[in-house]
Amino acid sequence: NAGVTQTPKFRILKIGQSMTLQCTQDMNHNYMYWYRQDPGMGLKLIYYSVGAGITDKGEVPNGYNVSRSTTEDFPLRLELAAPSQTSVYFCASSFPGQGTSYEQYFGPGTRLTVT
């Protein structure tokens, strides 16, 4: 299993440009999440999904959109990039199986700079 993969690894955007951060998992996990991490801070939840066709906002959703058409993919869309969106973006997935374990598996991150 590749686990959670994210592309691209790095990206520089100009203000007002748009882009899609890709996230794919091959573990058949129902739940997927997008977090952002600013320098020296903990991760903040942007959006999450509990299954294909179902998404919901997290703590910091403004300026972002998501879709979940398949179990495997959970892309994050930035429509009008702003300098405040300069951050490291992490995608994660988990499987709410039997019992209580909701361990999340994280991707390697996408480092985005908006100038």
- Residue numbers at the binding site for another protein (CB under 8 A): 4, 31, 33, 35, 40-45, 48-50, 56, 58-59, 88, 90, 92, 94, 96, 100-109
What is the closest distance, in whole angstroms, from the C-beta atom of residue 89 to another protein in the complex?
10
What is the closest distance, in whole angstroms, from the C-beta atom of residue 96 to another protein in the complex?
7
Question: How many CB atoms lie under 10 A from the CB of residue 9?
Answer: 9
Q: Toward another protein, which CB reaches closer, 43 or 81? A: 43
Q: Toward another protein, which CB reaches closer, 16 or 51? A: 51
Q: What angle do CA 101, 103, 108 make, to 5 degrees?
A: 170
What is the closest distance, in whole angstroms, from the C-beta atom of residue 80 to another protein in the complex?
26
What is the closest distance, in whole angstroms, from the C-beta atom of residue 115 to another protein in the complex?
20
Selection from 8, 13, 1 nearest residue 82 by Cα: 13
84 three-state secondary structure: helix
Strands (DSSP E) found in 1-109: 4-7, 10-13, 19-25, 31-37, 43-51, 54-57, 64-66, 76-78, 87-94, 105-106
Q: Toward another protein, which CB reaches closer, 2 or 41? A: 41
Q: Toward another protein, which CB reaches closer, 59 or 79? A: 59
